[in-house]
Amino acid sequence: MRKHIVAGNWKMNKSLQEGVALATELKEMLAAQKPNCDVIIGTPFIHLATVSELLKDSVIAVSAENCADKESGAYTGEVSASMVKSTGAEYVILGHSERREYYHETPEILKEKVDLALANGLKVIFCIGESLEEREANKQEAVCKAELAGSVFHLTAEQWKNVVIAYEPIWAIGTGKTATAEQAEEIHAYIRSCVAEVYGAEVADETSILYGGSCKASNAPELFGKPNIDGGLIGGASLKADDFKGIIDAWN
Ligand code: PGA
């Protein structure tokens, strides 16, 4: 059975103190009531070491939101995959549309990041998804396939075990406009078929594919009720413990 996952993406929010407070609150909530899925929180780099230590004996895993496309050296301001790993973080989110758009991360750059993350023992949450314009032109399938082909389909089946896919339609991110459960299910099934073409049906069946884009406690049960939706990557609603817990509870 593939894993069900609820992952938070704090983006550029929370001071260190606020992040520690949120992680502490979540840890206590999930110790009191065990989640019925894997739980991950993606935090800014500056939180990683402290939050990883804090959550060491909890059910919550920690993710970075990015890592460098270079191994080490004179790249002022960058943080390498091995540095992320050394904090105790287990995952890294790569390919988020905000990174692609605002920081010009190309499929080639993302491929380097994916390779370095996996080589350094991190698991990758790899994001794909179309813009509104592409959706309106009915190009969502071609866009998702090309993003997978450009940055992750070169991986071996062994490496693929450490990859989680997140489908995040850009038009639904932070807009309050969620894809309908049917729209999401349709493309998730397509994404799984693309994985099956490259790695076979068995591997595709084991691959977790998360939905992201204005997912909240009120729409999570319907989304997660679909056969090809294995959880969510949560932005805005991961910034408050109660909101995030409400989404985790959708798996109960
Ligand atoms: P959102 O963000 O939940 O705030 O729409 C999702 C994401 O970008 O991962």
| CATH number of residue 220's parent domain | 3.20.20.70
Q: Is 235 in the pocket of ligand 1 (CB under 6 A)?
A: yes
Q: Is 214 in the pocket of ligand 1 (CB under 6 A)?
A: yes
Enzyme catalytic residues: 96, 168
Distance from Cα 212 to the centre of ligand 1, integer Å: 6
Q: Is residue 117 within 8 Å of residue 80, measured between CB atoms?
A: no
pLDDT, residue 234, reads 98
Contacts of 101 (CB under 8 A, 6+ apart): 170
Over residues 43-83, the pLDDT tens digits come to 999 999 999 999 999 999 999 999 999 999 999 999 999 99
The lowest-confidence range among 10-24, 167-181, 194-208 is 167-181
pLDDT, residue 15, reads 98
Q: Residue 120 and residue 84: Cα distance in Å, rounded?
A: 9
pLDDT, residue 8, reads 98
Mean pLDDT throughout 26-48?
98
How many structural domains does the chain have? Answer: 1
Helices 16-32/45-54 angle, 10° precision: 30
Q: Is 239 in the pocket of ligand 1 (CB under 6 A)?
A: no
Distance from Cα 237 to the centre of ligand 1, integer Å: 8
Mean pLDDT throughout 108-136?
97
Q: Is 8 in the pocket of ligand 1 (CB under 6 A)?
A: no
